[in-house]
Structure 1
């Protein structure tokens, strides 16, 4: 494959993103549903690919677009390899630019939020593994690792689903990535749609502490355009461009984090090969991206200790992450196989419906009883994240708490520092598939059931009992 082909494939992703943004600005339904441009761009690439345009062309009597649609097979090959690389950049930057809090500080702020988030994530494994044991394996003949698809697609999102492609292939189930990407798409769209429905329900029923019935997103917000009077800098220049381009410096920090992650992963694989590879191999199949996150923590720890000039800008890191995630999503969706989804439609439908039912049910039944104050604003963020990506949760929290007066945002952020290294693309998500293959789905089901029971018990019996005293202060806090 020539360098020109790789360059053209990347340029086409940029063109597709711009076209998708124009669609978002003009298409009212996409605005109301807050569909990200990367999802729209991925859908456009999918429509122009072999499974849609190629199928239509074949039906009309020509096989010209059967292999790759309007794109070449080499371009689609480049796209298919991008998610596994870009997700490492996204995860490496999760902690860069953030002060690493101590355990007591994080626990005090995010304890209830952590228990609710852990409930949602572990519950997705319990439901998925039960479906695998009772229906998917005996009825449809699918491998047991399909029990992890709800958490991978919903809690993990498109990035995790795309990044685990090699792992699925290693275990002889390459269709798993397409199913996971389909789950991620259903989860993201449903999370936004159902989230807005729940917010409207909460406003009408008086469940929201801040949002009133008259408060609705502006037209500009729905279009994804920032009004001129509200525009702010996307990042801050912390070093002079004459010495080094600030964007390049921050990319270098991310590169160091990813390389550290690769060294750690290689070391764990080396130790495994020496001591227990003959019995079981786990680290051989663990992808790089959750370990790259550990690399990011190491880099940030060094920065906290030695960076007296505070040259790391959190917003700059977020811009690089956002760019990587947009490119990741559009390339992953653009190479999604609709034929795989069609061939496994009933299992896919069962997983999606059960996953949606769990997230909605947990929000309505458990969040009010586990979160001691501002349960709606705090719970809606975790609900959105459990069905899409972190951005979905942030969007829903911003709608429910437009002035950021509740503790939802800081609690959500601290919860991320504890939960993200394990679920939603972290170590547990990465290890789940090799663990299921090595030991079967039942041991992981038992472990996740214990985690679910623990998180629900602590949420209800420890934090839930504080709700009476905390709830009394909510109206007063909302008027400040």
Structure 2
């Protein structure tokens, strides 16, 4: 009886959390519509809602739900998002083989660029605090938390910060970590949204249809009788089972398959515990598997591609809001200047690296990759996908899939994690540790060259007419 009461309370708490996030989304939509500056900047309602939720959750007015519930919601929706991506058919191309090669190439490129930034930023963070931290009584070891926060989000920054606190006696490490994460989320959208908007104006967002920003894009919704996209087609007779019910049933099936895959992987000696935690990867693989089986049975038409992409959008919107509301924004006042300094410098480095290499990955969706990578290295994969949706609303490119699969080459970052923890434990000196953090970067650059994801420009931010490739095509046609 006691257990059932507790379970009931958890369900009620979950629904309250869901309701609060929904209120924030409604408020975000109103603000997006009524505040002209925000409308012109194309800030998604989910981002506005997330910022509102962040403020509300940290006022102390909400006592029925804590940040941990939103952490759990983020974990759940993260997996659902990638299941839905896996169930969505690949974009049409001349050959499915070319699509696979493009996805593999993009995933490797994005993954190793993420590794590069992951290795560079802790060294930069430590060096900055060595330079100015002494004036504020801040140990350089806190600068090592920046990659967990910026490239992995509040969950990982809190986890590794807690390890530093409990095992190595580094006070307030978790608080500093989540502070970095919150600031990273804000800069993700404060910088990423204008970059996306700038690219739309330059004609780089091919899936927007036009370089002109239409009224409904800026407004954020359609008015009566305005031309709009469909939500998809019915695939089921509603007297039997509703089309939406069927799609979510398949997602539930894939979720259980993902849990099974994760459990099997956990038995692998040595690395099992690490790899089993990547539930979203198994979710996407389960989606691919189910889609493959349905295709073999010739029933894949039961899944409508357009409607499936809308489910991906639904889960991403709530995921962004929950990610903000999961951050306890308690900040150590006397360290704010070094924290903000590290944050701004790392953001600038991230922008430079993402734009420079993003222009040279050699794919038709390089602009989408650039925006998605920036969102990922300053927040999480879902925040990267949220930015991509600004320029590719229906996720017609393979960028979202690549952002999921990039987690496989990201395994190489284990070297950086080991180095950071060795410095935090005192096993490595700070100076030697910084050198070891920077050591893998030349290897990552070589990998980018070998896999041909560092070549000539495919687009140029300075060009009004879009990419060099597109200009050549037009010139040839004329």
Structure-2-length-normalised TM-score: 0.73
Contact 2:40 2:218 in 1 (8 A): yes
Structure 2 partner of 1:451: 444
Residue 229 of structure 1: CA displacement? Answer: 3.1
Pairwise mapping of residues 53-452 of structure 1 onto structure 2 (< 5 A)? Answer: 54=59, 68-69=60-61, 71-74=62-65, 77-99=68-90, 104-106=97-99, 109=102, 117-118=110-111, 120-132=113-125, 134-135=127-128, 139-142=139-142, 144=144, 146-153=146-153, 161=154, 174-175=174-175, 176-197=177-198, 216-227=212-223, 228-272=225-269, 276=270, 282-283=274-275, 286-308=277-299, 310-340=301-331, 345-346=336-337, 348-362=339-353, 365-367=356-358, 370=360, 378-388=365-375, 389-396=384-391, 412-413=397-398, 416-423=400-407, 428=411, 446-447=439-440, 449-452=442-445
The 2-side partners of 1:72 and 1:89 are apart by: 28
2:357 and 2:157 mapped to 1: Cα distance? 31
Q: Which deviates more from structure 2 when the two are superposed, residues 300-309 or residues 249-258?
A: 300-309
The answer to whether the 8 Å contact 2:42/2:218 transfers is: yes
**Aligned partners of 2:410 and 2:260: how far apart in 1?**
16
Match for residue 21 of structure 2?
Answer: 13
The within-5 A match list for 1:19-34 is 19-34=27-42
d(CA) in 1 for partners of 2:356 and 2:14?
49
CA RMSD across the alignment: 4.3
Decide whether the 8 Å contact of 2:157 with 2:181 is kept in 1.
Answer: no
Question: Residues 133 and 334 from structure 1, CA distance in 2 versus in 1: closer, same or farther, beyond 3 angstroms?
Answer: closer
Q: What SS class does the counterpart of residue 267 from structure 2 fall into?
A: helix
Inter-CA distance 115–84: structure 2 relative to 1 (3 Å threshold) = closer
Q: Which moved more, 1:12-21 or 1:99-108?
A: 99-108
Cα distance change of structure 1 residues 394 and 477 upon mapping to structure 2, 3 Å threshold: farther
CA–CA distance in 1 between the matches of 2:25 and 2:275?
35
Q: Deviations 1:150-204 (Å, cap 9, x if unpaired)? A: 3225xxxxxxx5588667656756443453243123112211123434666x57x
Shift of the alpha carbon at 1:436?
5.6
**Contact 1:341–1:348 (Cα < 8 Å) also in 2:** no
Is residue 125–residue 146 contact of structure 2 (8 Å, CA) maintained in 1?
Answer: yes
Matched, 1:36 2:35: no
Q: What is the alpha-carbon distance in structure 2 between the residues aligned to residue 454 and residue 164 of structure 1?
A: 28
Q: After TM superposition, give the deviation of residue 40 of structure 1 in Å.
A: 1.5
User: What is the deviation of 1:26?
Assistant: 0.4
Distance 2:258 2:416 in 1: 20
3-state SS of paired residue (1:333)? helix
Q: Against the structure 1 CA distance between its residues 328 and 187, is the aligned structure 2 distance closer, same or farther, given a 3 Å change threshold? A: same
Q: Which residue of 2 aligns with 1:60?
A: none
Q: Specify the SS of the correspondent of 2:370.
A: helix
Distance 2:101 2:285 in 1: 23
Gaps of 5+ in 2: 1-5, 131-137, 166-172, 376-383, 424-432, 461-466
Alpha-carbon distance in structure 2 between the residues aligned to 1:478 and 1:168: 57
SS at match of 2:405: coil
Aligned mates of 2:146, 2:74 — CA distance in 1: 20
In structure 2, relative to structure 1, the CA distance for the partners of 1:144 and 1:295 (3 Å cut) is farther
Check whether the contact 1:287–1:430 (CA below 8 A) recurs between aligned residues.
no
Q: Distance in 2 between matches of 1:321 and 1:210?
A: 20
The 1-side partners of 2:350 and 2:388 are apart by 13
Contact 1:373 1:474 in 2 (8 A): no
Is the CA contact (8 Å cut-off) linking 1:209 and 1:478 kept in structure 2? no
TM-score (norm 1): 0.72
The change in CA–CA distance for 1:111 and 1:299 in structure 2 (over 3 A counts) is closer
Asked if the contact 1:80/1:332 (under 8 Å) is kept, the reply is yes
Contact 1:122 1:452 in 2 (8 A): no
Deviations 1:395-425 (A, max 9, x none): 2468xxxxx9xxxx86x41x554452133x9
